[in-house]
Amino acid sequence: MSTYSQQKRISIPDLRAMKGKAKIVMLTAHSKPMAQLLDAHCDVLLVGDSLGMVVYGMENSLAVTLDMMISHTKAVMRGSSHAAVILDMPFATYQESNEQAYRNCARATAESGAQALKLEGGEELVGTVEFLAKRGIQVMAHIGLMPQRVHEMGGFRAQGKEEDALSKWPKLAQQFEDAGAFSVLIEGTVEPVARAITESLKVPTIGIGASPACDGQVLVTEDILGLFPDFTPKFAKRYRDIGAMVTEAVGEYAAEVRGGGFPSLEHCFGVKK
């Protein structure tokens, strides 16, 4: 029996049922302490491959491995009991063939405890999503701006501006729904396209930089807390500057250590007061 099976988490059918009734709140989490802080407020915790940048300082997410994703997802599972947990499948772990995708997705699901997996792709991925869904893997399809295609796109550019966008993207999203995806995540895509997709699907859409028209929203937690000083995307709102608070607190600690103000007697063992 799984360690987690006694806990009552939001399930994948619960998320599907939220469409049209309540907005889905999703944030990224990569560690147990962060999951503990976010769990009660979120419907979904996404262990995003953005951890390559925000945790490991990589330039992009391409070198993130399945082992890294499984370890971080296990930590997030340990720190949460309410929100659904979704693992982001890293680059080159599912694109080669349906068999490779199933092998890696089954391993990710079984070892991490995550309820679902997120996979980035276009039409070429539809058959794989169908293959996985028919075999019990819960898939969130990620369309629009795809960070794993950074070199193909030549940077992170907003999507959905082409002439036929209003037919092209809803058609792709529909193909994913028909293939068995339980949700479609739309990243960095213009409002009319995100709206058209959301209105045409029965499954919920989650937006990131894709307007309030989506059924739910996700952001990278470090972006909303000021914990990733390198770059904040236009679509992310910084709710607090925790980074500045850390700098201030650490500055005080360093000054007290250097000045002899820390530790004081209350922080010492075996010293007579």
Residues with a catalytic annotation lie at 187
| Stretch near ligand KIV under the rule CB under 6 A, chosen from 44-52, 155-163, 172-180, 196-204 | 44-52
> Cis before residue 263, ω within 30 degrees of 0?
yes
Size of the site for ligand KIV (CB under 6 A): 11
Checking DSSP bridges between strand 44-47 and strand 84-88, what pairing results, if any?
parallel
**CA 111-117-121 angle, 5° bins:** 135
Helices (H), the chain: 12-17, 32-38, 51-54, 66-78, 98-112, 126-134, 150-153, 165-179, 191-200, 221-225, 242-259
Instruction: With contacts defined by CB under 6 A, name the span among 42-50, 70-78, 164-172, 247-255 that binds ligand KIV.
Output: 42-50
Query: Footprint of ligand KIV on residues 146-185 (CB under 6 A)?
Result: 185
Decide the pairing of beta strands 216-219 and 44-47.
unpaired
- Which lies closer to ligand KIV via its Cβ, residue 104 or residue 255? 104
Choice from 35, 44, 45, 48 touching ligand KIV (CB under 6 A): 48
Residue 43 lies near ligand KIV (rule: CB under 6 A): no
Closest by CA to 218, choosing from 17, 35, 47, 11, is 47
Task: Single out the residue of 137, 208, 210, 214 in contact with ligand KIV (rule: CB under 6 A).
Answer: 208
Query: Of 10, 24, 50, 201, which lies in the binding site for ligand KIV, with binding defined by CB under 6 A?
Result: 50
Binding string, residues 10-29; x marks residues near ligand KIV by CB under 6 A: ------------------x-
